[in-house]
Amino acid sequence: MNFKRALAALLLSVLPLGAAMAAGSPINEDYTAIIKLSQQALESAKQGNADAFVKAVGEAQSLAKEQNSTGNSVTLGRVGGKFRAAVGAAKAGNLTEGGQAVEAALAELTKKKGPIGRAEGTQ
């Protein structure tokens, strides 16, 4: 009887460790396609081509939305808002402001992650 209780106690104490490991593991997300489209948008903004800028940002925004539908990513949520702001600014004729929004999104995407998936220096 004591052996069964000891075994049950051991299993119940080890079981939550597996759940804690799974919950704290880093999220490995691939942003390379979104980064490439963002860089294309920045090049279009530097050249003053608003149509190409809106097209590239729109593609990046839809790709970010598609990737975010498979999982709930905080980074992709932030980037999606910046892309919406960039498209709105470009359609309003302010390509410089749109370019700054894409630069902010690009900085968010390329931010170095710490050991548990958070950006370094944040809590």
Residue 118 lies in a domain: no
What is the span of the domain harbouring residue 87? 32-109
Residue 41 lies in a domain: yes
Residue 18 lies in a domain: no
Mind listing the pLDDT tens digit for each residue in 44-74? 999 999 999 999 999 999 999 998 887 778 8
Residue scoring higher pLDDT (67 or 29): 67
Q: Is the pLDDT of residue 94 over 70?
A: yes
Residue 12 lies in a domain: no
Q: Which residues of 92-122 are buried (b: 16+ CB within 10 A; e: fewer)?
A: eeebeebbbbbbbbbebbeeeeeeeeeeeee
Domain tally, the chain: 1
What pLDDT score does 20 carry?
53
Residue 8 lies in a domain: no
